[in-house]
């Protein structure tokens, strides 16, 4: 099937941008109205409608990169190549997905990680001279290699034994039963029960069904799927094939963010290999059942990580979230039943089936929790990376025993446990911020604070606490400027709002303005109290009226800054200029 988004990507790769003439020719070739081409080309930030500069430099300005001096790098590069200087464009951008190697810069889409300003000047200068300095490759730079991952039962064998056993068995019930026994939750953020989603799609009526893997991963601070795609693509493929066989799907798509160049190629090569082995293709292992699989490269935008927006993009539409119900399980891609899971969710399925039909996985948790999962951890830690740990692992253990402890011996000031989505939590969380149920069950009588380092990293535990837990954890030491962090998070939500919901579009802009005003002054107590009430009211309105999660969490960075770190606002310095371009919506 020819897709508008993918055809636009090919055109831009060929010409460098999307000219009016090229769009007219594409509309004629695809026999679709020209406005359909324009509505897609104008929405996604990756598409360019004007000839690009000779050199385009994009400096990540989000959480971990900001912490490692990306703001200064951007200013230094702009001082050498100011706006209008020759054919070089220097700009700030949203997260590039390499938070463990901050600060990160892309030069003509080639990634350069943890480089000094001097190094970047050389790279830009060489690129201006027509050279292509070697990029920093994910395959070579990972601090944490998968030597001790339990997720991969094959190591280097890639025998696809789980699919072979499932085909030999001939029944899908045991797969769903194993997922239920394992208590595998969705690893994309929502944490839904995987077995139930698979069972719902299986029961859904329809001859045509689809399987979709969400590998967009654009949340600042999150990069664990990047490593799974690169180092264990066969697990993702096998999980998707198993999903297709169970629910009765015949087509699968791996939706990958365009900045993951290596991962895209690795997945395509692994799919080709699986096709040669008859693991996917027109006839899976001689069963007569087809399951075709292909990579779909995202044209950009954080909103595409929202599952219904991702489906809209696959359908060649603007990636604007859908109202629900109906759910994707019955009315997903092209209005057909669709199984959509995250990279890690699919990747856990083979080992769950091969090891004690889910019992091994369920027993792997700590302190009453079940299973294992990956966390991306970055910021002020000595060894940032993607770590596989048992659910229930204490935050302090993840920081000390896996991530090498606090960077430069700093004291822990705050943690963002879900990228910007959950806001900033202090090292000592006031009991008043936790649910009474958790306080009564877990804390001693009379306790006023809960040490965040003691928190069990388990999504159900955090729900009991009344807090959010995602896959991306950013740690802030005592030297971190949380005011600047809150401003950049609010700017992120402003830029990445798709604009469909008026409260989100207007509210995210207003939140960024409020954050900037606070950063530019030393607010009085009256101002802090009034602002706290305003932000809480605005956040509640956005939560109630926004279609998707972006608008529902957009106020959390500023809200938690006001709630837990008012002293940082009382003593902050001058504002940092907004150097990142605002996205038009």
**Residue 12 token pair:** 């831009």
Sort residue 69 into left (φ over 0), alpha (ψ -120 to 50) or beta: left
Regarding pTM above 0.85, the answer is yes
For residue 126, the SS3 value is helix
d(CA 50, CA 52): 6
CATH architecture label of 146-361 = 3-Layer(aba) Sandwich (3.40)
* Residues 124 and 81: beta-carbon distance below 8 Å: yes
Who's near 573: CB < 8 A, 6+ residues apart?
A: none
Whether residue 289 has a cis bond before it, omega within 30° of 0: no
pLDDT at 574 over 60: no
Domain ranges of the chain: 4-41, 55-136, 146-361, 372-477, 482-570
Do 146-361 and 55-136 have the same topology in CATH?
Answer: no
Q: In the chain, pLDDT over 90 holds for what percent of residues?
A: 91
pLDDT in tens, 270-310: 999 999 999 999 999 999 999 999 999 999 999 999 999 99
pLDDT in tens, 109-163: 999 999 999 999 999 999 999 999 999 999 987 655 666 799 999 977 788 999 9
Residue 3 has what pLDDT? 83
pLDDT at 164 over 50: yes
pLDDT in tens, 2-56: 689 999 999 999 999 999 999 999 999 999 999 999 999 999 999 999 999 999 9
What CATH number belongs to 55-136?
A: 3.40.30.10
pLDDT in tens, 504-558: 999 999 999 999 999 999 999 999 999 999 999 999 999 999 999 999 999 999 9
Residue 141 has what pLDDT? 76
How many Cα atoms sit within 13 Å of 40 on the Cβ side? 24
Mean pLDDT of the chain: 94
pLDDT in tens, 422-438: 999 999 999 999 999 99
- C-alpha separations of 425 from 231, 475, 498, 504 in Å: 32, 10, 27, 24
Residue 143 has what pLDDT? 58
d(CA 449, CA 412): 15
With residues binned 3-state (H G I as helix, E B as strand, rest as coil), the percentages for the chain, rounded to 5, are 50, 15, 35
Q: How many CB atoms neighbour CB 347 within 10 A?
A: 28
pLDDT in tens, 35-45: 999 999 999 99
- C-alpha separations of 248 from 23, 342, 449, 561 in Å: 37, 19, 51, 48
How many Cα atoms sit within 13 Å of 58 on the Cβ side? 19
What's the burial of 408, exposed, middle or buried (CB within 10 Å: 0-12/13-18/19+)? exposed
Q: How many CB atoms neighbour CB 348 within 10 A?
A: 28
Q: How confident is the model at residue 360 (pLDDT cuts 50, 70, 90)?
A: very high
Residue 573 has what pLDDT? 52
Who's near 156: CB < 8 A, 6+ residues apart?
A: none
* Residues 487 and 424: beta-carbon distance below 8 Å: no
pLDDT at 189 over 80: no
Residue range 372-477 forms a domain whose CATH class is alpha beta
Mean pLDDT of 338-348: 98
Q: Kindly write down the DSSP assignment for every residue of 157-212, as one continuous string.
A: ----HHHHHHHHH--SHHHHHHHHHHTPBPTTSS--BHHHHHHHHHHS--S--EEE
Q: Kindly write down the DSSP assignment for every residue of 232-264, as one continuous string.
A: -HHHHHHHHHHHHHHHT--EEEEEEETT-HHHH
Residue 577 has what pLDDT? 39
Q: How confident is the model at residue 364 (pLDDT cuts 50, 70, 90)?
A: very high
Residue 146 has what pLDDT? 65
- Classify domain 482-570 at the CATH topology level: de novo design (two linked rop proteins) (1.20.1440)
Residue 170 has what pLDDT? 80
Long-range Cβ contacts of 522-528 (<8 Å, 24+ apart): 522/569, 522/570, 522/571, 522/572, 523/569, 523/570, 528/562, 528/566, 528/569, 528/570
């Amino acid at each position: 099937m020819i897709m508008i988004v993918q055809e636009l990507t090919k055109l831009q790769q060929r010409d460098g941008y999307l000219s009016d003439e090229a769009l007219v020719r594409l509309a004629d070739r695809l026999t679709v109205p020209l406005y359909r081409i324009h509505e897609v080309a104008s929405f996604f930030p990756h598409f360019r409608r004007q000839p690009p500069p000779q050199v385009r430099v994009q400096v990540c300005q989000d959480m971990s990169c900001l912490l490692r001096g990306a703001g200064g790098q951007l200013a230094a590069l702009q001082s050498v190549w100011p706006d209008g200087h020759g054919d070089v464009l220097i700009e700030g951008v949203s997260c590039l997905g390499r938070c463990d190697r901050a600060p990160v810069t892309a030069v003509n889409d080639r990634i350069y990680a943890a480089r000094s300003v001097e190094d970047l000047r050389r790279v830009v200068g060489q690129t201006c001279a027509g050279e292509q300095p070697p990029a920093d490759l994910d395959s070579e730079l990972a601090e944490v290699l998968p030597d001790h991952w339990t997720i991969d039962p094959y190591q280097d064998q890639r025998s696809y034994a789980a699919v072979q056993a499932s085909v030999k068995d001939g029944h899908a019930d045991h797969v769903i039963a194993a997922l239920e026994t394992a208590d595998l939750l969705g690893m994309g953020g929502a944490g839904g029960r995987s077995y139930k989603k698979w069972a719902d799609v299986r029961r859904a009526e329809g001859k045509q069904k689809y399987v979709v893997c969400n590998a967009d991963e654009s949340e600042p601070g999150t990069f664990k799927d990047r490593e799974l795609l690169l180092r264990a693509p066969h697990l993702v493929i096998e999980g998707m094939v198993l999903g297709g066989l169970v629910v009765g799907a015949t087509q699968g798509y791996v939706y990958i963010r365009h900045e993951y160049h290596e991962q895209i190629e690795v997945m395509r090569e692994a799919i080709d290999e699986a096709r040669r082995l008859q693991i996917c293709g027109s006839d899976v292992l001689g069963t007569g059942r087809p399951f075709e699989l292909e990579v779909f490269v995202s044209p950009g935008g954080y909103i595409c990580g929202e599952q219904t927006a991702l489906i809209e993009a696959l359908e060649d539409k603007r990636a604007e979230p859908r109202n629900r119900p109906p759910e994707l399980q019955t009315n997903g891609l092209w209005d057909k039943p669709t199984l959509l899971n995250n990279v890690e969710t699919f990747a856990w399925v083979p080992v769950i089936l091969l090891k004690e039909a889910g019992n091994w996985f369920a027993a792997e948790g700590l302190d009453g929790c079940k299973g294992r999962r990956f966390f991306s951890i970055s910021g002020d830690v000595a060894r940032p990376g993607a770590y596989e740990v048992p659910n229930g692992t204490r935050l302090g253990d993840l920081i000390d025993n896996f991530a090498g402890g606090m960077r430069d011996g700093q004291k822990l000031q705050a943690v963002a446990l879900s990228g910007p989505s959950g806001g900033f939590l202090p090292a000592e969380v006031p009991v008043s911020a936790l649910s009474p149920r958790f306080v009564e069950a877990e804390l001693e009588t009379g306790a006023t604070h809960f040490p965040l380092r003691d928190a069990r990293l388990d999504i159900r535990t955090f729900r009991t606490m009344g807090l959010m837990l995602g896959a991306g954890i950013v740690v802030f030491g005592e030297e971190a400027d949380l005011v600047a962090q809150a401003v950049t998070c609010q700017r992120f939500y402003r830029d990445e709002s798709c604009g469909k919901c008026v409260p989100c579009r207007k509210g995210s802009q207003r939140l960024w303005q409020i954050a900037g005003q606070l950063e530019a002054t030393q607010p009085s107590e009256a101002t802090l109290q009034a602002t706290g009430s305003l932000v809480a009211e605005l956040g509640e309105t956005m939560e109630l009226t926004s279609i998707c999660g972006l608008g529902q969490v957009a106020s959390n960075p500023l809200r938690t800054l006001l709630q837990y770190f008012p002293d940082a606002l009382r003593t902050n310095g001058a504002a940092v200029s907004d150097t990142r371009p605002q996205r038009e919506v």
